């Protein structure tokens, strides 16, 4: 059982506590967002997705399930390795992968003229990049 002021996994001795806490907050928020978005892409009927996301109807519908799968795996990778302290080095890799997906999404939205989505994908890419960078600077110690 953890105390009210302790975190699910301990940072290394050199990691500043504020950075560690900030990373956990961003990891949880990103994981929730990518679980929801990726889960929808995996489970919703393609016809429904085509009405919700123009790019699915615009010829990229075949990729939607793959993208959803990658987003769900990335969300799990943001939390599970660090929280369980089993291979926590996978967490920054998952974050980097999600950043890459969001940069690809940004390019897709620009090419398709869907400029309203660009700030959303860039913010998500930036947050994921922050986790990728931060978990290298403030890594989670693996289980002893």
Give the domain range for residue 30.
Answer: 17-137
pLDDT in tens, 63-116: 999 999 999 999 999 999 999 999 999 999 999 999 999 999 999 999 999 999
**pLDDT attached to residue 9:** 58
Number of compact structural domains in the chain = 1
Task: Evaluate whether residue 108 is within a structural domain.
Answer: yes
Task: Evaluate whether residue 10 is within a structural domain.
Answer: no
The 3-class SS string of the chain reads CCCCCCCCCCECCCCCHHHHHHHHHHHHHHHHHHHHHHHHHHHCCHHHHHHHCHHHHHHHHHHHHHHHHHHHHHHHHHHHHHHHCCCCCHHHHHHHHHHHHHHHHHHHHHHCCCHHHHHHHHHHHHHHHHHHHHHHHCCECCCC
Of 12-16, 53-57, 87-91, the range with the highest mean pLDDT is 87-91
Task: Evaluate whether residue 113 is within a structural domain.
Answer: yes
Task: Evaluate whether residue 60 is within a structural domain.
Answer: yes
Task: Evaluate whether residue 70 is within a structural domain.
Answer: yes
Task: Evaluate whether residue 143 is within a structural domain.
Answer: no
Task: Evaluate whether residue 81 is within a structural domain.
Answer: yes
């Amino acid at each position: 059982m953890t105390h009210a002021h302790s975190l699910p996994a301990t940072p290394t001795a050199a990691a500043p506590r504020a950075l560690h806490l900030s990373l956990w907050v961003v990891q949880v928020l990103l994981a929730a967002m990518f679980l929801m978005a990726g889960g929808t892409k995996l489970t919703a009927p393609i016809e429904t997705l085509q009405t919700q996301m123009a790019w699915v109807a615009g010829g990229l519908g075949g990729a939607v399930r793959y993208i959803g799968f990658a987003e769900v795996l990335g969300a799990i990778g943001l939390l599970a390795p660090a929280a369980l302290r089993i291979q926590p080095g996978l967490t920054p890799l998952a974050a980097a992968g999600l950043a890459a997906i969001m940069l690809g999404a940004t390019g897709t939205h620009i090419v398709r003229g869907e400029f309203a989505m660009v700030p959303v994908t860039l913010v998500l890419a930036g947050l994921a990049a922050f986790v990728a960078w931060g978990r290298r600077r403030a890594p989670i110690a693996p289980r002893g």
